[in-house]
Amino acid sequence: MNGGYPLLTDDLLLLHEGAGQFVAYPGPARIKLFPQIASRYFGGLADTAPMNPDTQKRILPIDADQHAAAPAPLAAIFTLAPPRKAGRNDCVRIDPLPPREALIEVVRGTFNRRLVDGDRLARQFDMAARISTFVPIKRIAYPRTLDRLADVRDAVLADVAHAAAGLERAPC
């Protein structure tokens, strides 16, 4: 948001498949953060509410101009490399995932995996398979420090722009 891009969602992404593409819908106009991060980036906790009694996270309302108002086409999904692999390079690295890993990452990120209703699980798996087939799934690794987040944003934007132009990105 500090880079001038509206927040689409903070952790729950609703996708709709139609007209040959997936579309991502905006979530609520809020973001959930731990107090230290909220204070650092939003200047305080005065207008916040606790997320729930089991966490210290706070719910911060987002101004309308900082929140996406309409659905957006889904260009790619970026998953985070595990922390043990993230800090090995001093740069931001984005790698496309092979189909099998892409499917596993999409399934791993699905909501409410604990429900065991067979029909629901079949629908969920089918949707994950379609997403991982038609949407590029990539893994992003970067040194896990907050001062590198602008570099992460820039790398994601460059990767999406290169993909849209049909160009290969050079590794870091």
Share of the chain above pLDDT 90, in %: 43
For 100-122, write each residue's pLDDT tens digit.
999 999 998 886 666 778 888 88
Sequence-ordered alpha helix ranges (H) in 64-110: 83-86, 99-108
Q: Residue 149 is part of which domain span?
A: 75-166
79 and 109 Cβ atoms separated by less than 8 Å: yes
For 14-54, write each residue's pLDDT tens digit.
999 988 899 999 999 999 998 888 888 777 777 788 888 98
Q: Is the pLDDT of residue 86 over 70?
A: no
The verdict on 87 and 141 lying in the same domain is yes
The verdict on 159 and 88 lying in the same domain is yes
pLDDT at 171: 64
- Domain C-terminal end among 51, 74, 97: 74
The verdict on 79 and 12 lying in the same domain is no
* Phi and psi torsions of 18, nearest 5°: -175, 150
